[in-house]
């Protein structure tokens, strides 16, 4: 392929020309072109920055270290991009971006909404009061951020005044989240709160370019397992990632901040966490062993849970 000119228009014209001249464009190439076109649309709609995502073609010269960073990247590489990102207006008001932290091979990716004041000051996710409660929630089912979880947010920079992140902000940050999921390969994603659940389930505002669609209330999404689909596999027009069955499951529950405001939500959240515990025990032998004692304790108090846990405790 001839070297592409710099700039969106030059790249678009060069790709269109390549397609015109080439009768045998394969699926991989088509996906790359579709991503590129979506990038252009996103740029026009929301100021999405080209620097957030890079494109590589099989007949490109061997990638330089900078380009290679974006294809074969690690969680640390993505974090480095996040901290220097100014792809939406949150980049102008944040103190520190918050890429996320935890195991590089997590069983569970825990996904929140966006950093609050403490997270913005420290650059670490979920370190304020909601974060301390989250750690206790996770520990109640043998999950720990430093051991078998990765904790991240839907948007990586603090929305001023802790408002909900907006359509353009969620959209601009989406490539980072998708790449984190690709690299971390969690078995399961625990979405805490409406924003994370809607983002992952490709519903609500900011999804599919539909600014108007209302979010699904978390009360309707929580407590059920869903399959995570990478953008592209459900007709989603995001400029990123691969299509196909990811093999990753999603469970949504209430956000710990909601629990701090309303104590009564602790009961349904604990029910959701116990479901998560059983699912993880079915998926992972190591987790099954580690959680055995806790599982036996819960089974002694809860006959429904005991029935589910029977096969792991016998």
Which residues contact ligand URA (rule: CB under 6 A)? 112-116, 119, 125-126, 128, 130-131, 153
How far is Cα 68 from Cα 88, in angstroms, rounded to an integer? Answer: 24
Q: Identify which of residues 81 and 113 has a Cβ nearer to ligand URA in the complex.
A: 113
| Minimum distance from residue 297 beta carbon to ligand URA (Å) | 29
Q: Which is nearer to ligand URA, 38 or 120 (CB)?
A: 120
Between residues 128 and 205, which has the closer beta carbon with respect to ligand URA?
Answer: 128
DSSP codes joined into one string, 37-104: HHHHHHHHHH---GGG-----TTSPPPPHHHHHHHS--HHHHHHHHHT--SSTHHHH-SS----EE-S
3-state SS class at 167: helix
What are the DSSP calls for 208-244, one per residue? TTBSSPPPPPHHHHTT-EEEEE-TTTTS---S-S--S
Residue whose C-beta lies closest to ligand URA: 112
Closest separation between CB of residue 143 and ligand URA, Å?
Answer: 16
Distances in whole angstroms, Cα of residue 254 to Cα of each of 29, 32, 78, 197, 241: 40, 36, 27, 10, 28
Q: What is the closest distance, in whole angstroms, from the C-beta atom of residue 116 to ligand URA in the complex?
A: 4
CB of 113 to ligand URA, least distance (A): 4
The tokens 């990632």 sit on which residue? Answer: 241
CB of 203 to ligand URA, least distance (A): 18
Please say which residue, 176 or 287, places its beta carbon nearer to ligand URA: 176
When the beta carbons of 11 and 96 are compared against ligand URA, the nearer one is 96
Helix (H, G, I), strand (E, B) or coil at 14: helix
d(CA 178, CA 31): 16
The nearer residue to ligand URA, 125 or 232, going by C-beta atoms, is 125
CB 165 to ligand URA: min, Å: 10
**CA 45 – CA 51 distance, rounded (Å):** 16
What minimum distance in Å lies between the beta carbon of 275 and ligand URA?
Answer: 21
Of 35 and 222, the one with the shorter C-beta distance to ligand URA is 222
Contact 283, 187 (CB under 8 A): yes
| CA 293 to centroid of chain Cα atoms | 31
Least Å distance, CB 131 to ligand URA, is 6
Dihedral sign of CA atoms 148, 260, 218, 295 in order: positive
- Which is nearer to ligand URA, 29 or 253 (by Cβ)? 253
Tell me how far, at minimum, the Cβ of 154 lies from ligand URA, in Å.
Answer: 8
255 or 275: whose CB is closer to ligand URA?
255
- Gyration radius (Cα) of the chain, Å: 21
Distance of alpha carbon 242 from alpha carbon 176, whole angstroms: 14
């Amino acid at each position: 392929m001839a070297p592409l000119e710099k700039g969106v228009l030059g790249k678009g014209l060069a790709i269109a020309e390549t397609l015109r001249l080439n009768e045998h464009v394969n699926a991989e190439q088509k996906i790359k072109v579709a991503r590129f076109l979506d990038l252009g649309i996103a740029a026009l709609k929301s100021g999405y920055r080209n620097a957030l995502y890079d494109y590589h073609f099989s007949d490109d010269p061997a990638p330089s270290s900078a380009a290679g960073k974006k294809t074969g990247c690690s969680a640390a590489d993505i974090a480095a991009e996040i901290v220097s990102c100014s792809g939406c207006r949150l980049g102008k008001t944040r103190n520190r971006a918050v890429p996320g932290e935890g195991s590089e091979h997590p069983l569970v990716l825990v996904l929140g909404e966006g950093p609050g004041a403490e997270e913005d000051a420290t650059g670490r996710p979920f370190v304020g009061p909601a974060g301390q409660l989250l750690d206790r929630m996770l520990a109640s089912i043998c999950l720990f951020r430093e051991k078998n979880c990765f904790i991240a947010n839907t948007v990586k920079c603090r929305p001023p005044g802790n408002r909900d992140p907006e359509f353009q902000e969620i959209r601009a940050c989406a490539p980072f989240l998708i790449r984190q999921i690709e690299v971390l390969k969690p078995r399961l994603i625990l979405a805490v709160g409406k924003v994370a659940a809607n983002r992952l389930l490709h519903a609500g505002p900011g999804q599919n370019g539909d600014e108007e669609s209302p979010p699904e209330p978390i009360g309707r999404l929580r407590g059920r397992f869903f399959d995570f689909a990478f953008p592209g596999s459900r007709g989603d027009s995001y400029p990123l990632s691969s299509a196909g069955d990811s093999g990753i499951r999603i469970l949504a529950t209430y956000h710990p901040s909601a629990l701090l405001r309303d104590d009564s939500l602790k009961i349904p959240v604990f029910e959701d966490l116990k479901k998560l515990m059983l699912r993880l025990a079915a998926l992972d032998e190591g987790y099954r062993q580690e959680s055995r004692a806790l599982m036996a304790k819960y089974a002694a108090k809860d006959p429904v849970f005991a029935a589910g846990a029977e096969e792991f405790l016998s």
